[in-house]
């Protein structure tokens, strides 16, 4: 069974690789946030499948490293330094790409910023909400507005937005991040019917937790199951091949169903999660000593989480 499973898996991988190649060979694909994590893995996979990949990120040196890696493997890639949160920089990037390549076939809006902080700890941090909206929503929207006209003119195009499982499950302490992603989701769902008869498709990927540099500083994530960047990039490749309206995991869909069918129960569960994992020491302004003591109380494994949650839910109940 082990050998048979390995053979089957290899056949499926080969089949998907062929499907991806047929979809993207000689196509122009823009990937933002392309120098690390999901974006870099997507760029590598797309280039290996024959796409001409346009990499956008803030750091020129990291862009050059990724381009060199792709070209060393025989792929086609071009680097453009751009801060997607800067609208003027987006305008320059869009114009330069169109001048150099005339059009874009696939746009993957991957660049994003996440902030984990409770609303109560955010009353004096309105800029957190402005920063997340600027990059996660307005930056992505700027690129859509820049590249979509040519897609509509050519009657061919695909816009893939990397969203979050949080839009489906509404986790506490992520109000700034989830709101910005939800705005982009809502835009795509409204725009898609307008573009459908021009053969320009939108796909929203409600990505689960991924082991990327963005989550590395938050040590409590060590207790949660996560995808690798490679696994996350495979979700994106599936979206490129099949062009679905949405890509989501079972956990995310379960969260959405729970909120729709039993919102009170869902809120209770999320409140327990809110109490289980406090704001980070940085968000609370703790000293180094206080931060060390606070982190010692955070669950490190699923078993730790279960124990603390049981004590929390049944506090004051004696057996």
DSSP characters over 199-214: TEEEEEEEE--B-STT
The first and second tokens of residue 306, run together, are 């279960």
Any domain includes 15: yes
Beta bridge partners of residue 204, listed in sequence order: 161, 246
Residue with tokens 């402005």: 130
Q: Judging by beta carbons within 10 Å of its beta carbon (0-12, 13-18, 19+), is residue 84 exposed, middle or buried?
A: buried
Residues 241 and 137 in one domain: yes
Residue 278: DSSP 8-state: P
Q: How confident is the model at residue 309, as a pLDDT? A: 47
Tokens of 28: 């122009």
pLDDT score at 150: 98
Note the pLDDT of residue 317. 46
Of the listed 80, 137, 177, 221, which one is catalytic?
177
207 lies in the same domain as 249: yes
**Helices 37-48 & 2-24 angle (0-180, nearest 10):** 80
189 and 149 in a common domain = yes
Q: Is residue 177 annotated as part of the catalytic site, yes or no?
A: yes
Report DSSP letters for 175-188, one per residue: HHHHHHHHHHHHHH
- CA 98, 101, 105, 109: dihedral to nearest 10 degrees? -60
In a domain, 319, yes or no: no
Q: Evaluate whether residue 35 is within a structural domain.
A: yes
Banded pLDDT at 305 (limits 50, 70, 90)? low
- pLDDT confidence of residue 300: 59
Residues 247 and 210 in one domain: yes
Structural domain containing residue 291: 263-313
**pLDDT one-digit tens code per residue, 87-143:** 999 999 999 999 999 999 999 999 999 999 999 999 999 999 999 999 999 999 999
Share above pLDDT 90 across residues of the chain, in percent, rounded to a whole number: 65
Strand 52-57, strand 246-248: pairing: unpaired
pLDDT category, 16, cuts 50, 70, 90? confident
Does one domain contain both 280 and 160?
Answer: no
Confidence of residue 209 (pLDDT cuts 50, 70, 90): confident
Q: Which helix (H) or strand (E) holds 52?
A: strand 52-57
CB 84 within 8 A of CB 135: yes
Q: Are residues 143 and 214 in the same domain?
A: yes
Which distant-in-sequence residues (6+ apart) come within 8 Å of 306 by Cβ? none
Residues 80-100: tens digit of each pLDDT? 999 999 999 999 999 999 999
What phi, psi does 118 have (nearest 5°)? -65, 160
Whether residue 230 is found in the same domain as residue 145: yes
Q: Are residues 78 and 163 in the same domain?
A: yes
Q: What global pTM score does this model have? A: 0.82
Same domain, 284 and 172: no
27 & 160 share domain: yes
Q: Which of 242, 258, 274 is the last residue of a domain?
A: 258
For 38-63, write each residue's pLDDT tens digit.
999 999 999 999 999 999 999 999 99
Question: How many structural domains comprise the chain?
Answer: 2
Helix (H, G, I), strand (E, B) or coil at 238: helix
Q: Could you tell me if 162 and 103 lie in one domain?
A: yes
Is residue 318 a part of any domain in this protein? no
Asked whether residue 152 falls in the same domain as residue 19, the answer is yes
98 in a structural domain? yes
């Amino acid at each position: 069974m082990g050998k048979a499973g390995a053979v089957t898996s290899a056949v499926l991988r080969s089949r998907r690789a062929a499907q991806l190649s047929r979809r993207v060979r000689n196509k122009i694909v823009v990937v933002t946030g392309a120098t690390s994590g999901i974006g870099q893995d997507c760029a590598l996979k797309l280039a290996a499948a024959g796409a001409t990949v346009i990499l956008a990120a803030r750091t020129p040196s990291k862009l050059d490293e990724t381009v060199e890696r792709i070209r060393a493997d025989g792929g086609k890639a071009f680097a453009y330094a751009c801060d997607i949160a800067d609208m003027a920089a987006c305008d320059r990037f869009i114009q330069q790409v169109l001048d150099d390549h005339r059009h874009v076939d696939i746009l993957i809006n991957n660049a994003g910023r996440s902030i984990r902080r409770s609303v109560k700890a955010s009353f004096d941090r309105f800029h957190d909400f402005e920063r997340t909206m600027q990059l996660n929503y307005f930056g992505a929207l700027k690129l859509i507005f820049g590249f979509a006209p040519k897609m509509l003119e050519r009657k061919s195009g695909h816009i893939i937005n990397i969203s979050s499982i949080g839009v489906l499950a509404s986790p506490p302490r992520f109000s700034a991040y989830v709101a910005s992603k939800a705005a982009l989701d809502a835009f795509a769902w409204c725009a898609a019917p307008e573009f459908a008869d021009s053969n320009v498709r939108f796909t929203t990927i409600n990505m689960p937790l991924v082991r990327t540099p963005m989550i590395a500083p938050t040590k409590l994530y060590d207790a949660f199951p996560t995808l690798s960047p490679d696994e996350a990039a495979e979700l994106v490749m599936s979206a490129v091949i099949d062009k679905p309206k949405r890509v989501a995991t079972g956990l995310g869909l379960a969260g959405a169903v729970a909120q729709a069918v039993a919102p009170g129960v869902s809120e209770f569960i999320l409140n327990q999660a809110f109490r289980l994992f406090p704001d980070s020491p940085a968000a609370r302004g703790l000293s180094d000593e206080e931060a060390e003591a606070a982190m010692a109380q955070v669950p490190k494994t699923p078993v730790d989480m279960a124990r603390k949650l049981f004590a929390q839910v049944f506090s004051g109940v004696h057996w």
